[in-house]
Amino acid sequence: MPRIEGPGGPSWEEPKIKQSSLSPLESKTYRCFSGNFSIEEEDFSLKGKDIQRSFSPDYSSIAKQNINTQLPSTSLNISFSNDSPMQLSFDDYTDKESRISEESLEPNQVLQDCVGDQSWVEGCFTEINRDSKKLGDDEECMKPTHLSGGGGCSGSYYILDENQEKIAIFKPQREEGGAEYGRNKYQVTTKEGIKPGTGAIREVLAHRLHEEIVPPTALVTIQSSQFSASNGRKITESGSLQKFVPNSRTFYKLSKEEKNNLDYQGIAYKDFITANADGHADNLLVDNQNRVISIDNGCILPDDCASAPTYCWLSYVDESEMFSQEMQEKANAIDLENEKELIIDSGLSGKAVNTRAVSVLLMQNLSDITTIRDMVSYQLAGSSGSGFMTEDSISRNIIRIADERDVDTDPDIKEERGISLDVLREVVEEVTNFTEVRKEEVSAYLDEQNLGSDLDKVIYGNNINQQKTHVVYQTVREVLDERQHWNDWQEEVDKRIEKKIDARIKALNTS
């Protein structure tokens, strides 16, 4: 009998449902009662991944737990709900519309164009066809990236020219994290809010939205015997093909001095309004002209801001730096209605539209009044000292509040096309206006208290040695995430800020 060992606290009611009606392809909910829980009469076992979700209000401090699990080949989404009673959902996480069976694919075709010149795509196909005819199944034009030290949870392949020089990278949809042939068979998905098979779509979309900083990328089909599912035979896979950037180094390999001398405006702009959940140091390149280039964008626009962003550049941005006038004007010129159509036409859902919309609206509302670091505070999730997620981001809760208020849009329309932009805009303005005014008031008050070198300890609390997050942002995130005070959240925030500041000043005086 498969069993999942959870933390102390609620257990889960065994489903009163016959085995014949249970299937990994269906969504089932198990209600929580106490202690550990088990799933009986199932034909798949779960052996755990890290799961980012908060429990019910009584367990809101427990949000990410390690559960030893072993997943079947069918990818499943595991998520907790904040609603009471607590729920654990097992959902088929296969995006059937975005995934194409190999039998239906024609080899070496462009399925979704990239922006600008595509001659390099044809060049890749020429190399593949040349080696296919020349070498049969022993192809030399493709090489798995992990053989060259490449990491990651998804399968990817260098495309090589006749001189064995890298010219592109191909990432099959069926080898993405959590997909059927992903490198880690026990992985549920790459990130929360990123369905397996949609990473390739997001890669192409990143280039279409930000071609100035993302290399040319197209959705294509490629035939080869090198793929994980090949078993020695030639098969055709669909996925993203991205032009290789020569003469470049990853951000990880730069010296501190080199990092301090980079211009981060472009990457900060792009990452912020795509809510990039995978912007770590190996996904940022710097070429020989010191230009910053963003690669591996399969985790942009996570559905409904479900995953907090990762920005490797953040600590190198000066605390006082704001977005330039150029970036502010660029953001203000974005037409969200047009972008909605582009995102939907690419194959993503309305939940990705919500993420883009709230991120752009935050940029438009904040970029001329506060710093880049403070803007990012709206996107960061709360975390414990051990790094476990304890609260969802302000941006994710803005989407939840807007969803609740948008009573005029049919739920099916929301799923397909997103929440009303007017409602989202209204909630973003409400939250940002209150938060920024209160931040200035609190900062002014504390400046008058002659706290000296202890000022940061009062403003930032335990976050002083991590990502510095102002007490106002901390408290807004905390209150919104509890969901109990959405009708009077501003009054609740004010009460808690006062208590926190008083407690921190008292602790200083007694230490």
pLDDT digits (tens, 9 = 90+) for 199-231: 999 999 999 999 999 999 999 999 988 898 888
- Taking residue 332's Cβ as centre, other Cβ atoms within 10 Å add up to 12
Classify residue 433: in a domain, yes or no.
Answer: yes
* 190 & 220 share domain: yes
Cβ atoms of residues 63 and 52 within 8 Å: yes
Q: Could you give the residue ranges of the DSSP H alpha helices within 324-420? A: 325-332, 336-346, 350-366, 372-376, 394-405, 411-417
Classify residue 37: in a domain, yes or no.
Answer: yes
**Which of 112-121, 145-154, 184-193 bottoms out in mean pLDDT, i.e. has the lowest?**
145-154
End-to-end, the C-alpha distance of the chain in Å comes to 53
**Given the DSSP bridges, would you call strands 284-287 and 248-250 parallel, antiparallel or unpaired?**
antiparallel
Q: What pLDDT does residue 188 have?
A: 57
Region class of 301: left (phi > 0), else alpha (psi between -120 and 50), else beta:
left
pLDDT tens-digit profile of 54-70? 222 222 222 223 222 33
* 124 & 168 share domain: yes
Question: What is the pLDDT confidence band of residue 147, given thresholds at 50, 70 and 90?
Answer: low
- Mean pLDDT computed over 340-354: 96
**In 3D, which of 90, 91, 83 has the Cα closest to residue 404?**
83
Q: What pLDDT does residue 108 have?
A: 84
The CB-side HSE value for 196 (13 A sphere, CA atoms) comes to: 28
* 177 & 261 share domain: no
DSSP SS3 for 136: coil
**Residue 208 and residue 333: Cα distance in Å, rounded?**
16
Classify residue 478: in a domain, yes or no.
Answer: no
* 321 & 277 share domain: yes
* 77 & 123 share domain: no
- Taking residue 21's Cβ as centre, other Cβ atoms within 10 Å add up to 9
DSSP SS3 for 279: strand
**Residue 448 and residue 284: Cα distance in Å, rounded?**
42
**pTM score, whole prediction:** 0.79
Residue pointed to by tokens 């279409």: 208
Which residue would you say has higher pLDDT here, 95 or 437? Answer: 437
Domain extent, residue 410, equals: 251-437
Domain boundary among 244, 259, 275: 244
Question: What is the pLDDT confidence band of residue 134, given thresholds at 50, 70 and 90?
Answer: low
- Taking residue 480's Cβ as centre, other Cβ atoms within 10 Å add up to 23
* 377 & 417 share domain: yes
* 353 & 407 share domain: yes
**Residue 459 and residue 461: Cα distance in Å, rounded?**
6
Per the document, the length of the chain is 511
Classify residue 47: in a domain, yes or no.
Answer: yes
* 31 & 115 share domain: no
Q: At what angle do helices 471-482 and 489-510 cross, to 10 degrees?
A: 130
Domain boundary among 43, 73, 92: 92
Is the pLDDT confidence value at 162 over 60?
yes
Question: What is the pLDDT confidence band of residue 31, given thresholds at 50, 70 and 90?
Answer: very low
Q: What pLDDT does residue 352 have?
A: 97
* 263 & 403 share domain: yes
* 126 & 229 share domain: yes
Q: What pLDDT does residue 215 have?
A: 96
- Mean pLDDT computed over 421-426: 98
* 315 & 342 share domain: yes
Average pLDDT, the chain: 78
Classify residue 486: in a domain, yes or no.
Answer: no
Which residue would you say has higher pLDDT here, 382 or 279? Answer: 279
* Tally of domains in the chain: 3
pLDDT tens-digit profile of 439-487? 999 999 998 888 888 888 888 886 544 567 899 999 999 999 987 777 8
- Mean pLDDT computed over 361-383: 94
Token pair in block for residue 61: 């401090």
**In 3D, which of 248, 243, 245 has the Cα closest to residue 216?**
243
Token pair in block for residue 64: 């990410």
Region class of 489: left (phi > 0), else alpha (psi between -120 and 50), else beta:
alpha
Classify residue 200: in a domain, yes or no.
Answer: yes
What is the DSSP-derived secondary structure letter of residue 113?
P
* 423 & 313 share domain: yes
**In 3D, which of 333, 357, 359 has the Cα closest to residue 417?**
357
Domain boundary among 212, 244, 276: 244
Q: At what angle do helices 199-209 and 336-346 cross, to 10 degrees?
A: 150
Classify residue 488: in a domain, yes or no.
Answer: no
Token pair in block for residue 4: 């999942």
Question: What is the pLDDT confidence band of residue 29, given thresholds at 50, 70 and 90?
Answer: very low
Q: What pLDDT does residue 10 have?
A: 33
Cβ atoms of residues 314 and 373 within 8 Å: yes
**Residue 38 and residue 20: Cα distance in Å, rounded?**
18
Classify residue 456: in a domain, yes or no.
Answer: no
